Amino acid sequence: MERSETVLSNSSVTVLGAGITGLWQSLILARRGHSVRLLERSKTPFEHASSRYAGAMLAPYCEEEASLPIIRILGLKSLDLWRKFYPEFLQNGSLVVAQPRDQGELRRFSRLTSGHRTLAGPEIAVLEPDLGERFQSALFYEQEGHIDPRLALTMLLKLVEEVGVAIDFGKSEIPCRSDQIIDCRGLAAQDDLKSLRGVRGERVIVRTSEIKLRRPVRLLHPRFPIYVVPWSDQHYMIGATVIESEEPNLVSLRSALELLSTAYALHPVFGEAEIVDFASGVRPAFPDNCPRIIVDNDRLYVNGLYRHGFLMAPALAELVAAYIENGNRESEIFVENSAQW
């Protein structure tokens, strides 16, 4: 942890962007005594937010498979914050499985991640009775959790209002001078952050009463890995593709076939599920898929959360608060000069 000489206390802060990142920034700073105004370009909450397409798996250990160690470190801190602020947080763990022919994928995933234990078929049945006879072994990440992003975003917006944040929807121009501007606009900040790119993710929401999963389940496959996340009201989110594209297109036929056929491989009852929604969203990412807090005069850019928005946003908000109040910087996350990014 590095320390800067710049210290602001009880400052006026303008947060740009009311997605998952901006909401957490506003909540944490307002609760710590700062005067916060939140500006959002859309007139309707979450209209342009990629957050609404998330699976909202809070899985810092599973994400080690393809992420830098800092994702796990800060992700674990975020779990504590979700538990503190969101009573509906479900810490039932994550289950990772693979078909018999893909056991090599399960062993690879085990080597690349920590925080898990290996389960045999009968142990799987205790956790997920509907999957117990379908898989011979699994990895169980007991400390992980998940939330319904639709409910969580609405709750965060309510909390932000309750702590006195002034929220302006349909506005993007800063109305008055602030001591600090926190830019959480995602891809809308591309004009300032040249290395920021879009990564499209596609997902499907289905409804079925024929299966009851208690926790997110990842089905490993060398080409089409998926995860299935239980939401409320017998809804399941099935996702997600990772496509190097900034085009917010509709879900492609190929992606739909891959998602649905792999869900059917997890359990055939998904073949009878009702399709509620197909959608795709474009997530902001830097070249290494690691978020950054970029210091540029009186503006901090909090961006590049990739597919880790719900996992990383709370911890990043605390890092920003520590910087504003004490000048502290996490060296792996803080960088200087937006022109270099």
**Domain with 235 in it: what CATH number?**
3.30.9.10
Same domain, 252 and 295: no
Last residue of a domain, one of 262, 285, 308: 285
Residue 72 included in any domain: no
How far is residue 127's CA from residue 44's CA, in Å, rounded to a whole number?
39
Residues 221-246 have a mean pLDDT of: 90
Residue 123: band (very low, low, confident or very high) from pLDDT cuts 50, 70, 90: very high
The contacts of residue 34 (CB under 8 Å, 6+ apart) are 10, 11, 12, 13, 321, 324
Same domain, 127 and 203: yes
24, part of any domain: yes
Question: Residue 73 domain-assigned?
Answer: no
CA distance 119 to 110: 12
Return all residues near 134 (Cβ < 8 A) that are at least 6 apart. 97, 266, 267
Strands 217-220 and 94-98: parallel
What confidence tier does 105 reach under pLDDT thresholds 50, 70, 90?
Answer: very high
Nearest CA among 68, 61, 66, 54 for reference residue 95: 61
- Please report, for residues 26, 69, 201, 253, 282, the alpha-carbon distance to residue 242 in angstroms, rounded to integers and kept in the order given: 29, 21, 5, 15, 10
Question: Exposed, middle or buried, 31 (CB in 10 Å: 0-12/13-18/19+)?
Answer: middle
Verify that 213 and 278 share a domain, yes or no. yes
pLDDT in tens, 6-51: 444 578 999 999 999 999 999 999 999 999 999 999 999 998 888 8
Residue 67 resides in a domain: no
**Per-residue confidence (pLDDT) for residue 341, from 0 to 100:** 81
Give the type of residue at 263. A
C-alpha span between 273 and 287 (Å, rounded): 37
CA distance 132 to 107: 19
Is 201 found in the same domain as 120?
yes
Give domain status of residue 16, yes or no.
yes
Average pLDDT over residues 51-68: 93
Number of domains in the chain: 2
Sheet containing strand 137-141, strands side by side: 117-120, 137-141, 94-98, 217-220, 226-230, 235-239, 197-207, 274-285
**What share of residues in the chain are helix, strand, coil (percent, to 5)?**
35, 25, 40
Task: For residues 235 and 208, state if they share a domain.
Answer: yes
Confidence of residue 251 (pLDDT cuts 50, 70, 90): confident
- Number of Cβ within 10 Å of residue 126's Cβ equals 9
With 70 as the cut, is the pLDDT of residue 3 above it? Answer: no
| Average of per-residue pLDDT values in the chain | 92
Domain housing 269 = 94-142+197-285
Q: What is each CA distance from 171 to 20, 117, 123, in whole angstroms?
A: 18, 48, 53
Which of helix, strand or coil describes residue 122? helix
Tell whether 120 and 206 lie within a shared domain.
yes
First to last CA, the chain: 21
pTM of the shown model: 0.93
Record the tokens describing residue 146, joined without a space: 């998940």
Q: Would the pLDDT of 4 be above 50? A: no
Residues 229 and 264 in one domain: yes
Q: Identify the pLDDT of residue 245.
A: 86
Q: Contact at 8 Å (CB) between 30 and 165?
A: yes
Residue 129 scores a pLDDT above 60? yes
The closest alpha carbon to 219, from 67, 94, 58, 324, belongs to: 94
- Phi then psi dihedrals of residue 148, to 5 deg: -85, 110
Task: Report the percent of the chain where pLDDT is more than 90.
Answer: 79
Q: Alpha helices, DSSP H only, in 181-251?
A: none
Could you give the percent of the chain with pLDDT greater than 70?
Answer: 97
Structure tokens at 38: 């939140």
For the segment 108-132, the average pLDDT, to the nearest whole number, is 96
Q: For residues 180 and 304, state if they share a domain.
A: yes
Where among 245, 261, 285 does a domain terminate? 285
Q: Is residue 89 part of a domain?
A: no
Query: Model confidence over 254-313: pLDDT tens digits?
Result: 889 989 999 999 999 999 999 999 988 899 999 999 999 999 988 999 999 999 999 999
| pLDDT value for 82 | 96
The 8-class DSSP code of residue 145 comes to E
Q: In whole angstroms, what is the distance from residue 124 CA to residue 214 CA?
A: 12
In tens, the pLDDT along 144-189 reads 999 999 999 999 999 999 999 999 999 877 766 778 999 999 999 9
Considering the domain boundaries, does residue 23 fall inside one? yes
CB 59 within 8 A of CB 216: yes
Domain at 171, CATH number: 3.40.50.720
- Nearest-angstrom CA–CA distance, 130 and 128: 6
* CA–CA gap between residue 218 and residue 151 (Å, rounded): 22
Same domain? 328 vs 262: no
On the question of a cis peptide bond just before residue 240, with omega within 30 degrees of 0, the verdict is yes
Residue 324 and residue 261 share a domain: no
Task: Report yes or no on 264 lying in a domain.
Answer: yes
Residues 328 and 295 placed together within one structural domain of the fold: yes
Angle, nearest 10°, between helix axes 309-326 and 69-85? 90
| End-of-domain residue from the set 267, 285, 303 | 285
Average pLDDT over residues 188-193: 94
Res 2: pLDDT: 52
Euclidean distance between CA atoms 299 and 101, whole angstroms: 51
**What local confidence, expressed as pLDDT, does residue 9 receive?**
53
Does the pLDDT value for residue 320 go beyond 60? yes
Same domain for 254 and 215? yes
* Averaged pLDDT for residues 118-143: 95
